[in-house]
Amino acid sequence: MKEFISVDKLAYYARRNEKKNLQFRIWLKTHVDEEDLDERCRRLHDEYFAQYDCSKCRNCCKSCHGYIPEEDFQKDADHLGISREEFIEKYIDIEKGGDEGNYDTKHMPCDFLNEDGACMLGENKPEACVKYPYTAEPGRLWALYSMIDNIAVCPVAYEIFEELKREYGFNRRRK
Ligand code: SF4
Ligand code: SF4
């Protein structure tokens, strides 16, 4: 069974490893094949998330505003049993404006995070949340800055990045 870094140590280790992580990013950009990196990330994503209970963490929901697509407002409101107007009034930072049709929730932690770690939106959870930390998405070679950001939030993303260093022999090469 894999051991994961604890959530409360993440920010410290992400900061401590920042320089090395940026060096690894440059190394990846210049040495690895895009498809090979995607395949490794997907494999590690599936393997690690199968062993990790996100409901005990929810650091992503605690560290960020929710990012809700406008096209979901009605179905989210229906799911919560309120009107679209009430939904916007209660949960959406409409004054800030949308970013490509996505709106922040009013608060951080996200307004839809329940105390038991569940998302109040249930199966309507936004696609961006379902995909987070995006480690199973294609094009990882072109998203390494966001991956480095995510390892300060997500213990699974952190472990994936550390395992990539081991698999590519990066730590050995730097000695
Ligand atoms: S996706 Fe990452 S940050 Fe979010 S709950 Fe799961 S392990 Fe925690
Ligand atoms: S919408 Fe749900 S899954 Fe997404 S950040 Fe909010 S609580 Fe978390």
Q: Are 28 and 144 in contact (CB under 8 A)?
A: yes
pLDDT for residue 172: 72
User: What would the pLDDT profile of 93-127 be if each residue is shown by its tens digit?
Assistant: 999 988 999 999 999 999 999 999 999 999 999 99
Which atom of ligand 1 is closest in space to residue 61's alpha carbon?
4
Domain ranges for the chain: 9-59+133-174, 65-131
Q: What is the mean pLDDT of residues 131-140?
A: 97
Q: In 9-30, which positions are buried (b, 16+ CB within 10 angstroms) versus exposed (e)?
A: ebeebbeebeeebeebbeebee
Here the tokens at position 90 are 């209660």
Report CA(155)–ligand 1 centroid distance (Å): 7
Model-level pTM? 0.93
Alpha helices for the chain (secondary structure H): 7-16, 18-31, 34-49, 59-63, 73-80, 84-91, 127-131, 144-150, 155-167, 170-174
Substitution site in 103, 110, 124 for ligand 2 pocket (most atoms within 8 Å of beta carbon): 110
pLDDT at 173: 64
Residue range 34-65, pLDDT digits in tens:
999 999 999 999 999 999 999 889 999 999 89
Asked if the model's pLDDT at residue 175 lies above 80, the reply is: no
Q: What is the CA radius of gyration of the chain?
A: 18
Inter-residue contact 54 to 131 (CB < 8 Å): no
Q: Which two tokens stand for residue 2?
A: 């894999």
Ligand nearest to the CA of 129: 2
C-alpha distances (whole Å) from 44 to each of 94, 115, 132, 158 are 37, 29, 14, 11
What is the 3-state secondary structure of 12-44?
HHHHHCHHHHHHHHHHHHHHCCHHHHHHHHHHH
The number of angstroms, rounded, from the C-alpha of 139 to the middle of its chain's C-alpha atoms is 15
State whether the beta carbon of 112 lies less than 6 angstroms from ligand 2. Answer: yes
What's the rounded Cα separation, in Å, for the pair 120 and 50?
22
